[in-house]
Structure 1
């Protein structure tokens, strides 16, 4: 039986991989690329964009604002390019791409950021400056001649542009938590939510080419079919190919909308990519609110280069864990210590990034993890009994919530099939499979419920779709265990409700830090593929009754309120 269960699990994963390749093919079938032109899903023809060079093309792709890309490339071609040989050109252009999104942080800081990036790229900056003393300053002057935007006067609530995306559950959840909390103080704060998908649906080359998908929609497909880590490079290549024919104006459109709002502050929850750093060209104070317990790979190059007076990184916790990958990037893994206190950690970060300690200390602030206000621990027995009745959880039965994020990662189907092939549990268990927005998965599993499951581990089972936060809170309060992946918002929710999690999947690209946090707090158990799944579930249910939980509910509301009041006070001076 053990071999049979393992075989079924393996075959299901293999089938999911085949399906995912087909999905990427299906995306590409919606348009045609031939030589110097692209034909989109409607038959509209786009000729290849005549970029001046590969740097010009990469700037356009990265900045998602053609005018910004043209201005930066023009300044480079006018003041820098004539001074470079082929070897130094490669190093200089590598540095420009590393910091091109930081142009709006001020003339002096932009110069420092580029200077630092040039050193890191191996460019002979000192020697070059002696030969061409004016070129560098002329380049920076050219970039900043139109970037002096005065901050609006504070004559009412602090106006905040809150950028997020409806394509990623965790990022949206954090943004909604922040907005719901700030809306309680209308005399102090006015937060406007901006959904990246709203702009991408009009300006994203992927959407223009396919008529169906945006770049984040494709990422969502990778999640649904459990192939994020393997196929993100393929997705990125697809997007870059399309941007050779259709200019990406998404950032330009968002910036235009933010300019209309004229906010005092921008807060972004899109911490899984570097795109929102393009908003720095607006010269508006900016906060990146992290939705995971590790710094995004695509943002690591900004550490030690941003202006901490205008740009700050808001962290979910004060743990060195957040910077583990940064130490690795700088080849300083032996320097990393999980037990370091905050002051020691800041000193080490200043050392490895060659930055002043005060700047590093000012760049990073611990806010905690904003959790939707709907998530609350329910202690009243009568209320719990009501919800058990509502969700048909019988007396003596233990509930297990199976959920893999808002997009319903495809491994849910693997878990269902494995349990469906297993004998009944030795004590009463009811499973709640939450498929999120993955309607295809919900339809499949609902159909399989018509089969005879009486003699399987799924004799008591419910298939659910997308759930509102209040409903999910009800289930999490009455269940004994959650089978899931360590997404940022999910990690924060189980921490608040002290609900143990059985980890059966992880997206290493962004969830490794969340997993480590849950394990440290005694809130997580890892799946062993060499042992039967039903047996592991029963062992965990028995173990959690005797295992202390070390998790603490972070006081994010108090910290966020304090930081925003400080910012508001500084504007009033």
Structure 2
């Protein structure tokens, strides 16, 4: 069995983490499967991939309002019109490269964890290409933007029941082809509920702009029974500042490469302050950890926040009342709402993949 897995970008993103989770699940079901994971941008042109990634980061940081406007106009128009699941202006270069890529690998099935390759495949399928190769859309946010080829992709791994219903009613897909898996999470992040031995708040390093190190030290004084772990990633300056505070209840955590280490950290976490990236939210929700959002970027993070906040799964952090991070009434309510969401998931990744492979008669 040959499978082509299509995230976007080579640097770590939620889309690549979801692709890795799916790859792991495939090998659990079919250990001898041949899996090729390819980024269409770098396959088209390695320089282009770096340029697009750099431009995106600079744009969203320097002018979030214009990014939000263009995202709403081009990516998330919230329409169900025919052919609305492709970018209004798309380069023929990517269609040509996608043809070459699929022809070269000759897969039995294609799995997309990003809307862009899904959209390119949708265009090609409408033109009659690759009609014999099924495509799975594995959605990595809590909404389905308009770039995803929802009409032409045969199978869908969706984040929740509302998404399944939308694909049935608006796109007329059979229910048997839609699997509520939640956003794909690697099996290394286990379903064991976090059981911290004490109050330990996890702070994502990029999301504590409202606090400098002196504020964090003051916070440990205000909340003497709570430890704060700051995820610094590759930010060496932040790590040095936090570590240099010499405070036993203020811990600097560098970049984590092993999922087992991240899983262990989650299991000792009583609450997290972070941004609402789709895969991060799915990981934390799997551990039943209460989630507080300091801020979010326009686009996917904003859409994720609105969905999760409406369900009482995340809470906007009140910077004037940080004691809510350990408020047991708030914590219990959020944990209950997370549990309700998790109970709506019908399939594990392994179960969904097995069902798809069996339905199209793919065997080892």
TM-score normalized by the length of structure 1: 0.50
Corresponding residue number in structure 1 for 2:355:
562
Distance in 2 of aligned mates of 1:544 and 1:268: 35
Q: CA deviation at 1:176?
A: 0.7
Distance in 2 of aligned mates of 1:226 and 1:536: 32
Q: How does 1:307-386 map to 2 (within 5 A)?
A: 307=152, 311-319=154-162, 322=163, 342=165, 349=170, 359-361=172-174, 365-369=178-182, 370-378=184-192
Distance in 2 of aligned mates of 1:417 and 1:475: 21
Paired residues of 1:486 and 1:511 also in contact (CA < 8 A):
yes
Aligned length: 330
Corresponding residue number in structure 2 for 1:127:
none
Distance in 2 of aligned mates of 1:418 and 1:294: 38
Distance in 2 of aligned mates of 1:527 and 1:468: 29
1:112-144: per-residue Cα shift (whole Å, max 9, x none)?
A: xxxxxxxxxxxxxxxxxxxxxxxxxxxxxxxxx
Corresponding residue number in structure 2 for 1:199:
43
Q: CA deviation at 1:279?
A: 3.0
Q: CA deviation at 1:168?
A: 5.2
Q: Which runs of 5+ in 2 are unaligned?
A: 72-90
Matched, 1:277 2:91: no
Paired residues of 2:242 and 2:250 also in contact (CA < 8 A):
no
Distance in 2 of aligned mates of 1:464 and 1:528: 26
Distance in 1 of aligned mates of 2:117 and 2:168: 28
Q: Given the superposition, is the C-alpha separation of residues 231 and 418 from structure 1 closer, same or farther in structure 2, using an over 3 Å criterion?
A: farther
Q: How does 1:471-550 map to 2 (within 5 A)?
A: 471-519=261-309, 522-529=312-319, 531-532=320-321, 534-539=322-327, 543-545=330-332, 549=336, 550=340
Distance in 2 of aligned mates of 1:566 and 1:445: 50
Q: Which runs of 5+ in 1 are unaligned?
A: 1-156, 208-212, 236-246, 324-341, 351-358, 389-395
Corresponding residue number in structure 2 for 1:172:
16
User: Which of 201, 204, 212 is the aligned partner of 1:400?
Assistant: 201
Corresponding residue number in structure 2 for 1:448:
241
Corresponding residue number in structure 1 for 2:6:
163
Which has the greater radius of gyration? Answer: 1
Q: How does 1:203-214 map to 2 (within 5 A)?
A: 204=48, 213-214=50-51
Q: CA deviation at 1:201?
A: 4.9
Corresponding residue number in structure 2 for 1:61:
none
Question: Quick one: higher RCO (CA 8 Å, sep 6+), 1 or 2?
Answer: 2
**Greater helix fraction, Structure 1 or Structure 2:** 1
Q: Given the superposition, is the C-alpha separation of residues 426 and 401 from structure 1 closer, same or farther in structure 2, using an over 3 Å criterion?
A: closer
- SS of the equivalent of 2:143 reads coil
Q: How does 1:87-106 map to 2 (within 5 A)?
A: none
User: Which of 229, 237, 261 is the aligned partner of 1:432?
Assistant: 229
Q: CA deviation at 1:376?
A: 1.0
User: Which of 290, 293, 298 is the aligned partner of 2:142?
Assistant: 293
Q: CA deviation at 1:218?
A: 3.0
